[in-house]
A and B are shown apart, each in its own frame.
Chain A
């Protein structure tokens, strides 16, 4: 992922981690992590709990200092980039000032940004105009997330960092929020978001980073990650008694579940598996062969890594 050095103003790197490590006690939260984000990218940061997502974002934002390695944001240290107004961020752990209204809080965020947007625009874009006069401590979880988003987008920042932005939102609210996020990316901003909703990464990210035990396990488009996981999903119905041991013996099979008359399996070579299935003299109905969703690919990838390490 190295870019050729051209005119520095155009070929600027948004975020650069160079062999960054952070240890708590004897836990390697982030382990010699190197990665580069380029301007305009929309990047999802995925990983199971404890993979080091939060620590990575903390290091990126200068809230923690790395034990070794360097973190650069637009060619400077994180704090300098924030002071220059180039970074807007919402943290999961970022609280809000209570006993003030949403509008007052957003006004504050705008006042603190060197290149602020008009308060009314920020409120509208985050979808909090209808609750602008409400006290911050009287909001629902999803509304709070929107206010955090408003704080992160109060000014003309080049990089927006969002930590689990849609936590606490229902499906409809989440999809509406994605539109808001896409809008930020369409304006040419670099958007980095950590999430555990893989659907979210699939829907908006043009690049997915999979973090596992503080290291980068995969880096590519959602499609590439799915391909890397390699498996396909096969499902069908069978009539009569199901001979499970025989099914389990099918070639290239990695997973099998039988519920009622429905059989679901995963295979690293679906063509060969289905061929062998017919070879057993079975007549599968409603046969479906599909690629794995990002979710299953992710599970497969991290499980494979776990197996490798133990």
Chain B
């Protein structure tokens, strides 16, 4: 299985277009949104400056891009062209393929997180304690597994031409509703109430509580855990269904 993971990593790092899209793009978006903001404007109700707040949002967004966009489309394609079938004629255990895909995505999501942090720290003077930087990196990286599972599920759910639009809708829906592009505090109240239950909102809130040096909200942890269970369960179910269909 390690050999497949290694090859998936090599391939992920070789795909320059995708690397650029998921590693550089979140930082560019960060500069567009937070670039003109001064260091003192606070985002309502958080006590964080806009750059500090948006740094976590964009790091989360970058990780989301890396784990969701790449895998769903590739899995759908490889199911269709028969590579998944060919792998079933090897000793590779069934879960090996999905694990390798997830590992490949994780390798791309880590630099996308770190690059946003580096840009925020150098260009917008975001200052945090060392433990906060480390905790942020860890939380956002590990948290992205929730969406990696979603990417796998989508790859097994949709096929062919359908997979890209479906992934796009899910991706933009999660980004906007979760407040990754603008703080949810700018939303009307009814939308804010809804956004609380969106996994990407809980995901970014996890990072923001680290920035505030607070313990994470229990609700955010629960939301993420429930969605993780939902997405992995869904992916496993769809995978099994696909296997029976051959």
Contact = CB atoms under 8 A, between A and B. Distances in A.
Contact of B15 (A64, A91, A99): A99
A112 B87 CA distance: 10
Contact of A104 (B7, B78, B83, B84): B7
A94 B90 CA distance: 12
A295 interface: no
A114 B91 contact: yes
A83 interface: yes
Contact of B85 (A63, A99, A107, A108): A63
A180 interface: no
Interface in B66-106: 78, 80-86, 88-92
Nearest to A110: B3
A39 interface: no
Interface in A73-128: 82-83, 85, 87-89, 91, 93-97, 99-100, 104-105, 107-109, 111-114
A85 to B, nearest CB: 6
A65 interface: yes
Contacts of A292: none
Contacts of B91: 82-83, 85, 112-114
Taking residues whose C-beta sits less than 8 angstroms from the other chain, chain B's interface range is: 20 to 34
B246 interface: yes
B182 interface: no
Interface string B1-22: 0011001001100110000000
A151 interface: yes
A63 B246 contact: yes
Contacts of B246: 58, 63-64
A148 to B, nearest CB: 8
A91 B89 contact: yes
Nearest to B4: A108
A65 B240 CA distance: 13
Interface in A131-163: 148, 151-152
Given A96-B86, A113-B90, 10 more contacts: A91-B89, A93-B82, A94-B86, A94-B89, A95-B78, A97-B11, A97-B78, A105-B7, A113-B91, A152-B89
Interface of B: 3-4, 7, 10-11, 14-15, 78, 80-86, 88-92, 244, 246
Interface of A: 58, 61-65, 82-83, 85, 87-89, 91, 93-97, 99-100, 104-105, 107-109, 111-114, 148, 151-152
24 contacts: A61-B89, A63-B246, A83-B91, A88-B89, A89-B89, A91-B85, A91-B89, A93-B85, A94-B82, A95-B84, A95-B86, A96-B81, A96-B83, A97-B7, A99-B11, A100-B7, A100-B10, A104-B7, A105-B7, A108-B4, A112-B90, A112-B92, A114-B91, A151-B86
